[in-house]
Amino acid sequence: TGQGSPLALIVCFIPRALVGITPYFTYTFLKKITGNKLDVLSLTVSGIVGSLTNTLFVMHFIFFLFKEAYAATSGVATGALYNVILGIIAANGIPEAIAAGVITAGICIPLKMAKINN
């Protein structure tokens, strides 16, 4: 229609809001289990969870809310669309999640050490 869809607001805001929530609870849970011994692991997994939260929610919301439009735009049959979305998740989401885990630990460990030293 050229006007967009109000449902796009769901795709836009909900995954991004959860990106802050799911890593927090993941980190808190892992810290309780491991204590301070495996902080690198807790941070890495939290970074991975945050990245995957965004990717999985966005791609699945697109599939469930805009299946026909996304299939038409992509030039893919509607029946094959979920496989295309899984391919996008695998090709883009998994490497992004790995990078997010490494970067999260790489940034947060020095910041935590600086905070302790102050």
Place of tokens 């090709």: 91
* pTM of structure: 0.88
Going by C-alpha positions, the residue among 48, 47, 27 that lies closest to residue 38 is 27
Q: What is the pLDDT of residue 2?
A: 63
Query: pLDDT band at residue 50, thresholds of 50, 70 and 90?
Result: very high
Q: State the average pLDDT over residues 49-66.
A: 96
Q: What are the distances in angstroms from CA 63 to CA 26, 39, 67, 98? A: 26, 36, 5, 24
